[in-house]
Amino acid sequence: MKSQAQALVQFENVTLGYRRNVIAKEISFSIEEGEFVGIVGPNGSGKTTIVRAILGILKPQRGDIRVRGRSSERLRIGYVPQRDSIDPIMPFTVSDVVIMGRYGRLGMIRRPTSKDRAAAIEALKHVDLLDQAASSYRDLSGGQKQRTLIARALAAEPDMLILDEPTNGMDLASRTAIMELIKHFHAEHGMTVLMVSHLLSDVANYVKKIMLVEPQFFQVGSVEEILSEANLTRVYDLPVMVGEWMGTKVIIARGKRV
């Protein structure tokens, strides 16, 4: 078993909330380098709050968050927000968006250099969007926008990739393409990935570890432990079936409340 000091991110009895509203109480977990972790749970359960704490946007009310064993260290995170939260009026090109992934390395004043532009091009190649570099971001399909945002996150050369509902509102083909892309980065490049999703089937077939977030309750464990019929039936207050078909996990709610 790896020592706690080697964990990329370690939460120790962390309480998170906004003023008096406590969202997550005394939660503890670790994310090891190279893991692919999913965060699932009902709407409003606190998934986004935990992500904001990992991102460093939200400070814990109590407890300790450590990066590589130290409270003072910060991770370089490639963040992929929900696609619908970005709706620009200005005609940003795909290149304009991806180069923003380098801004964190440049500080407040320095302009992007040829090295930054090269990193942006490399990121676009990874997501197979180099031919769209000069295209307007506004005019892209949902899947292309998502790949652009993933490229932006990769351009930052991050320690960890965090994706918030990356397949939201996509058709089957686009969803599969995005998930295979994320899986590729995890498998081929050893990228540590944290993915928030309410699509349990996506999560079940790609991640190795799951955090299940409920209001005032938190579980972390393997896919088999967390995504069991008993657990999901209790969490979602619906009879849930978990099965397998041709090697793919399938999770279905039967639609009748217990």
Partner 1 sequence: MSDFEIFRTIVTEFPYALLGSLVAALLCAYLGVYVVSKRVVFVGATLTQVAVAGIAFSHLPFADFEPLYGSIVFTVLVTLLFAWMLQSKSVPRDTVLGASFVAAIALRILMIQKSAAAEVSEIDAILKGDILFVTAQQFHLLLGVFIVLMLIHLVFYKAFIFVSFDAETATTQGFNSRVWEMVFYLTVGVAVSVATRVVGDVFVFGFLVIPAAGAILTARKVKNIFLLAILYAAIPPVIGLYLAFKLDLPAGPTTVTTGLVLLLVTWILSRFKH
Under the criterion CB under 8 A, does residue 57 sit at the interface with partner 1?
yes
Question: Which of 18, 44, 56, 187 touches partner 1 (CB under 8 A)?
Answer: 56
Nearest to 69 by CA among 106, 19, 32: 32
Which residue stretch of 30-38, 96-104, 203-211, 228-236 sits at the interface with partner 1 (rule: CB under 8 A)? 96-104
Under the criterion CB under 8 A, does residue 136 sit at the interface with partner 1?
yes
Under the criterion CB under 8 A, does residue 97 sit at the interface with partner 1?
yes
- Coil, strand or helix: which one is 129? coil
Residue 103, token pair as written in the block: 């801004």
- Rounded to whole angstroms, the Cα distance separating 157 from 11 reads 24
Considering the complex, what minimum distance in angstroms separates the CB of residue 50 from partner 1? Answer: 14
* Spatial CB neighbours of 192, under 8 Å, sequence gap ≥ 6: 8, 31, 32, 33, 34, 35, 36, 159, 160, 161, 186
| DSSP, res 72 | S
Under the criterion CB under 8 A, does residue 19 sit at the interface with partner 1?
no
Under the criterion CB under 8 A, does residue 65 sit at the interface with partner 1?
no
CB of 16 within 8 A of CB of 50?
Answer: yes
Under the criterion CB under 8 A, does residue 92 sit at the interface with partner 1?
yes
Residue 11, token pair as written in the block: 């939460």
Residue 171, token pair as written in the block: 């058709």
Which residue stretch of 39-47, 86-94, 178-186, 240-248 sits at the interface with partner 1 (rule: CB under 8 A)? 86-94
Kindly write out the interface string for residues 149-188 of this chain, putting x where it contacts partner 1 by CB under 8 A and - elsewhere.
---x---x--------------------------------
CB of 212 within 8 A of CB of 229?
Answer: no
Name the residue nearer to partner 1 (CB basis): 112 or 239.
Answer: 112
Give contact residues for partner 1 (rule: CB under 8 A). Answer: 55-57, 77, 79, 81, 85-86, 88-93, 96-97, 100-101, 103-104, 106-109, 111, 136, 152, 156
